[in-house]
Structure 1
């Protein structure tokens, strides 16, 4: 039983990573037999993994037909980005008004993350880069010091990763432009300019995910 559980866990992690990295795009139909053959296992652990992914909303199972990778829903990108902007802009304000050592530590972490982003971009590793991108923004939220908001943000991370990987697979040239945007955001955090950070973060996220530019800009909260 433990071996079966381990095989199921391995299949679950592998297939979920393919979904989050957009290697398995939304709308793709895959079969238990296909994955079982690839991973050298029986269909039973694959079935268990698929059921788990369906429960989490990543797949929809169709008996005797296979498993459909659930596409990003209409409006989901806009909703995720709006939630992220609220959390990140709020954290940037808290950091700007807080102790200097918090801002210094955050900027150090952002710069280290940027070095890792450059390495992933040089290798063309979209899966790694999309994770680092999510971590970059997550560092800012964590620095705000509100554990409830951090927990909420963690819940958005997987959706964020998938959307970023999807955008990068469509246009790999965005790797460098995302890094450039992140450098600018880190500079604004270092300068303590929370208002400019909110505006720049909104523009950055919209550009990456192909959404229209904001129509109105506030001084502290970004686009509305």
Structure 2
């Protein structure tokens, strides 16, 4: 049964998408009225949506002035990369240590997502990003810890707005696919050390791309 998103949910999704895709740039002050007009709602649900985004660290509210889009800092980049290393290295290791039947099921899912990435690398950059994100999320979710999944989603949201225009080139996407293939092979083969190592190598590449210091 499908339910219609509330006005607050619509305002939240609209504003968050504008922040993550950088239609609202870091350091920009956006008024409640501008958001309300964009979504087609009153200011009350916009205010509630902005409170949620402030709790996520994406905006800073100034009464009667609007919402400041919090700029991406070097510290945030470093923290995101470090936390992804910890969560994804651990969950990949666990996935590779799982029972053969569980590994086979996860490997089948990952293989399908990798095929999607191969197609979208040449066709649709945004769809590629979604498949990339789903690949990592599947490994994190396999650990069965919902807190890990929630944290992973938050980290990927933050990372999305860190990407400068032009950094995700076709060459980088192809390299990304190769790195994912190594992770998949380690999980499928039941090699925990190789799985963790493959994730760390992949995160090294992400760190270089984002300019992380760690």
Per the shorter chain, which TM-score range? 0.7 to 0.9
Tell me how far apart the structure 2 counterparts of residues 53 and 25 of structure 1 sit (CA, whole Å): 15
| CA contact 2:91–2:140 (8 Å) conserved in 1 | yes
SS at match of 1:9: helix
Give the TM-score normalised by the residue count of structure 1. 0.76
Structure 1 residue ranges without an equivalent (≥5): 215-224
SS at match of 1:72: coil
Once the two structures are TM-superposed, the CA of residue 159 in structure 1 deviates from its matched residue by 2.2
| CA contact 2:133–2:156 (8 Å) conserved in 1 | yes
Give the TM-score normalised by the residue count of structure 2. 0.79
Once the two structures are TM-superposed, the CA of residue 7 in structure 1 deviates from its matched residue by 2.0
Report the equivalent of 2:36. 36
Structure 2 residue ranges without an equivalent (≥5): none
Report the count of equivalent residues. Answer: 206
Would you say 1:106 and 2:106 are equivalent positions?
Answer: yes
2:168 to 169, 172, 186: 172
| CA contact 1:24–1:69 (8 Å) conserved in 2 | yes
Q: For 1:5-154, what aligned pairs fall within 5 Å after superposition?
A: 6-126=6-126, 128-145=127-144, 147=145, 150-154=146-150
Tell me how far apart the structure 2 counterparts of residues 7 and 115 of structure 1 sit (CA, whole Å): 37
CA displacement 1:106-126 (0-9 Å, x = unmatched)? 111111122333444444343
Report the equivalent of 1:218. none
| CA contact 2:141–2:148 (8 Å) conserved in 1 | no
User: What RMSD in Å do the two structures reach over aligned CA positions?
Assistant: 2.8
Once the two structures are TM-superposed, the CA of residue 130 in structure 1 deviates from its matched residue by 3.4
Report the equivalent of 1:207. 205
Larger RCO of the pair (alpha carbons < 8 Å, separation 6+): 2
